[in-house]
Every structure is written in structure tokens, then in C-alpha cells.
Chains A and B, each alone.
Chain A
Amino acid sequence: MIIEILKLLIIPGIFFLFTLALFYQWLDRRFLARLQNRRGPMHTGSHGTLQPLADFIKLLAKEDIEPEAVDKPVFRGVPILLSTISITALFFIPIWGVKAFVHFEGDLIFMTFLMTLIAILAFLGGWSSTNRFSTIGGLRAAMQTLGYEVPLSLAFIGPAIVAKSLSISKIVEWQASTGIWAIILNPLGFGIAIIALLAELEKVPFDLPEAETELVAGWQTEFSGRKLALLRFAFDLELVLAAGLITSLFLGGPAGPFYNIPWVGVIWFFIKTTIVVLILSNLRGLFARFRIDQMVSGCWKYLVPLAIIQIIFLQLVLG
């Protein structure tokens, strides 16, 4: 019992995920800065490694403004729910071995459900702020969900068909035991998942819900202090979640040479997620923002047919 609680709090649990989230935020910012020929954070800790932590503590210590017109219960609930849901979703990702901390048959479907909840919470956060920028940002977040949700789910079905299981842990186990990564059979699905997760994360080509040049800060405009700290933390966790999901479903999770020895699996996981985070931030540096109509129609016109072609291809190959 005590070991279980310690596990939950420290090693595959909250403390470890917190560190990982802050580290990936730093990696993302530094890599994007280098792509833009800048330096990025330099003077906080060694090469700015403590920058996300400094941002987090500063925001926690700042004044927390609640405008009079906001819908208070929802406005207070959104940041808390957003970060807890992100942490909950992360417990389904196998990090320290082929088995995740929590796993059951069908948790892939539960995962897509949690990711939809995250998008709906973004909408609720924008709606409850009753600020015109927040409202438009929240509506865009909901609109965007209509675009990327279907191709994302279709892309997740690919590895599930290959491994004949709807559990993330089982999919990783299958990849580890056979030595075949699902990306070999799902190259299209991998690309689609990366694009759709970029939209889920509200990163640059799809950052319409918080487009700062049009909407001040989108649905986050009214959040300040502790609430903003939790929102940013939730988004860092989501980055880990996105990278972890892609790694587990397509790149074999902690599988690699000698993955059965303790600590080796997590190193493989770490290397693979780092590569996925670098791909995500590379795409972020490469593209300019789409319009909302381009984004939604593009998802339905190109991503959904490609995802269906991917599944047909899988069925033909596997017979």
C-alpha cells in the first residue's frame, strides 16, 4: 500500500511527470529558439534549464484576479480539472516497463475520451470567462476538435489492429515481444497522429484558440496567477502525453535492446519522446498559422481519407 502511494507520488507518478513536463517545455523553447536563430532562455540555471520552474513559481506567487463577470465555479474548476486530467491520462502511458501504472483492456478508447475532455475544458474556460476574446478562442477550440478528433482516433486504430488489442500497454507489449514497431506498418498513421496532436496541443500551425495576433491570448485571456500557472503546467503535461502516446503506439514505447533491465526501458522511452518533441517543435517553427476554416476542412479533406487508406492498407497486409 505504502509502496503504491510512493509510486503514485514520486517515481512513475506526479513528481517524475512534473520534472519531465518542465524539461520538455525547456527543450521545446530552446529548440524553437535555435531554429529561429535565437538563443532562448540562457540565464536561469545552466542554459536556462530552470526557466520553466521559475515561470511556474512566479505565476503561483502572482495575484489571482477573478473578474466580476466570470462564471466562478467553472472558471476556478477549469485549470484544476485540466491539470488533473492530463496527469490521469499520463498514468496510462507505459514509461518504466511495458506495463503502464494503470492499464485495462480498452484504455486506448478511454484515452481518446480524456483528450476530448481536455478540448472541451478549453472551450468551457473560454466560455466561462465571458470576455469576447476568450469566447471566440473557446469556440475555436471546440471547432478545432471537430476537425482533428476523427483523424486522431482513426490513426490510433492502426496500432490497435496490428497488436489486436485496445490497451496501450498490450500494444507496447506486442511491439516489445515481436520487435516490430507499429510505425513500420503505419507510416501514414504516424504522420496523421503527429499533425492531429499538434492541433490538440494548440501549437503553432493550429494555435487558433490562442492566436495572439488576433485574440490577445485566446481562451486563456482572463486567467492570471495560480490559474494560469496550472493551465501552463497542464499544457506541458499534454506535450509529454502527446509525445508519450506517439512513442507507445508507434515507436514501441520503452522497447529497445536490454529493455528488461530496470532503468534501461525508461532511457529508451526518454530518447524516443525527446525525438517526438523535437519533431513537434520543428513543425512549429516551420509553418505559419492556418485559418480556422482551412484547418477544419483540411482535416476532413486530407487527413480522414488518408487515415482510412491507412486502415485499408493494414487490412490488406495483415489479411
Chain B
Amino acid sequence: MDIIKWARIKSPWVFHFNAGGCNGCDIEVLASLIPRYDIERFGMILRGSPRHADVMLLTGTVTRQIKDRLIRIYEQMAEPKFVMAIGSCAMSGGVFQNCYSVYEGADKVIPVDVYVPGCPPRPQAIIDGAVKLLQKLAAGK
């Protein structure tokens, strides 16, 4: 088995970017770090700096104002990098869908690998999304 691929699957470090949501999803992201769910079991650590991280946990609506910052932060991450869009807002714009300032989903701005639906998604759903991302990594790419 490819040792680099093994290492990549076993240690996906995450960092958290709020594009402008209501903080519901952010609380759920933080809840997946607490003792009850503890994503460190899968080797995921929450890092502060985008330079250190492999996976971006993107929450909230992507507005026209945040777009440039989001792209800049995304470009600051080192390859290989992945994006998880968490919550309805990051997936499709959610209830703000037809608003003049809102993009209908983060994938209009940056490439997204995994979508986690919910408003807000439960921590179990976030962990499930992370596992799906790891399976995608294991399958190929």
C-alpha cells in the first residue's frame, strides 16, 4: 500500500472558516471536537493556520463580500487540500438563496469535495462527511 496515501488518510488536519453564517454550524463543528464525539480519534486536529491544514471546514453563506477572502484563504492552504461545505448555507445558500449578495453554494467560488446537509448538521453528520472524504481519498485521486 502507498505509504503517503496511508499517511494522508490517517491524519487529515482541519481548519475552520466561517464565511458569514449564523454560528449554528460553527457550534456543531466545535461540538465534534468535544469528548462525546472527539474527531481526534481519526487523527483530525483543529489547526489555527490554513498553512498547516489539509481540510477546510467551510460554514455559512458565501457572500459577495467574503468571496475574495475565501479564495485567498483557500490559496494559502498547501496541496493536497480539500473542502467540506457544512450546512445548507454553504451548500446552496440555504434560506438566503435568492438574495442579491449570496452565492448559491460555495462550489460557485472554490472546489468543494464533500457536502454535509443540515441546518445545522449534527456532529455525527460532520463526522460522517469526514469519513466519506477519507473514503474518497482511499478510493483514488
Residues of A in contact with B (beta carbons under 8 Å apart): 29, 33, 36-44, 48, 50-51, 53-58, 61-65, 212-213, 215-217, 220-225, 228
If the complex has contacts A58-B11, A62-B79, are A222 and B51 also in contact, measured as CB distance less than 8 A?
yes
Please judge, given known A-B contacts A41-B43, A62-B80, whether A223 and B7 are in contact too, CB under 8 Å: no
B40 close to A (CB within 8 Å): yes
B35 interface residue (CB < 8 Å to A): yes
B35 x A54 contact (CB < 8 A): no
Distance in angstroms from A252 CB to nearest chain B CB is: 35
Contacts of B80 in A (CB 8 A): 62-63
Q: From the candidates B6, B41, B47, B78, name the one contacting A54 in the complex (CB within 8 A).
A: B6
Interchain CB contact under 8 A, A61 and B7? yes
CA distance A43 to B13 in the complex (A): 15
Q: Sorted from nearest, which 3 A-B pairs have the closest CB atoms?
A: A57-B7, A212-B48, A54-B10
A58:B52 contact, CB within 8 angstroms: no
Report yes or no: B49 in contact with A58, Cβ–Cβ below 8 A. no
- Bound Cα distance from A58 to B3, whole angstroms: 9
Contact flag A43-B10 (CB < 8 Å), given A62-B78, A62-B79 = yes
- Chain B contact-residue range equals 20 to 34
B38 is an interface residue with CB less than 8 A from chain A: yes
B42 interface residue (CB < 8 Å to A): yes
Question: Is B43's CB under 8 angstroms from A61's CB?
Answer: no
- CB-based contact B79/A51 at 8 Å: no
CA distance A41 to B42 in the complex (A): 6
Tell me if B40 and A43 are in contact (CB < 8 A). no
Min distance, Cβ A35 to any Cβ of chain B, angstroms: 10
Q: Which residues of A contact B108 (CB under 8 A)?
A: none
Given contacts A44-B11, A50-B10, A220 and B49 within 8 Å (CB-CB): yes
Measured CB to CB, the closest approach of chain A to B57, in angstroms, equals 15
Given contacts A36-B35, A38-B35, A62-B80, contact A217 B10 (CB under 8 A): no
Contact A37 B51 (CB under 8 A): no
- Provide the bound-state CA to CA distance between A304 and B40, in Å: 39
Chain B 7-43 interface 0/1 with A at a Cβ cutoff of 8 Å (1 = within): 1101101000000000000000000001100101111
Please measure, in the bound complex, the distance between the C-alpha atom of A58 and the C-alpha atom of B53, giving whole angstroms.
11
B47→A217 contact, CB < 8 A: yes
Given the complex of chains A and B, what is the CA–CA distance between A158 and B78 in angstroms? 47
Chain A residue numbers with a CB within 8 Å of B13 are 55
SS class, residues of chain B in contact with chain A: loop
Q: Please, which residues of chain A bring their CB within 8 A of the CB of B78?
A: 62-65, 224-225
Give Cα A305 to B43, complex, Å: 43
Using Cβ atoms and an 8 Å threshold, which residues of chain B touch A37?
A: 35
With CB as the reference atom, state the residue of chain A lying closest to B46. A212
B1 within 8 A of A: no
A64 to B38 alpha-carbon distance, docked (Å):
29
Across-interface contacts of B38 in A (CB, < 8 A): 33, 38-40
Known contacts A33-B38, A225-B78; A57 and B51 CB within 8 A of each other: no
CB distance from A8 to the nearest CB of B (A): 26
Chain B residue at smallest Cβ distance from A42: B41
Contacts of A40 in B (CB 8 A): 38, 40-41
Closest to B44 in A: A41
In the bound assembly, the distance between CA atoms of A153 and B3 in angstroms comes to 43
Do B11 and A54 touch across chains, with their CB atoms under 8 A apart? Answer: yes
Q: Which residue of the partner chain A has the closest CB to B37?
A: A38
Residues in A with CB closer than 8 Å to B10 are 43-44, 50-51, 54, 58
Within 8 Å of chain A (Cβ to Cβ): is B139?
no
Whether A58 pairs with B7 at a CB distance below 8 angstroms is: yes
Pair B51/A54 contact, Cβ less than 8 Å: no
CB atoms of A41 and B41 under 8 A apart: yes
Q: How far is the CA of A61 from the CA of B78 in the complex (A)?
A: 10
Instruction: Contact check, B48 vs A216: say whether CB atoms are below 8 A apart.
Output: yes
Choice from A39, A63, A228 contacting B41 with Cβ under 8 Å: A39
Kindly identify, within residues 82 to 118 of chain B, every residue whose CB is under 8 Å from any CB belonging to chain A. none
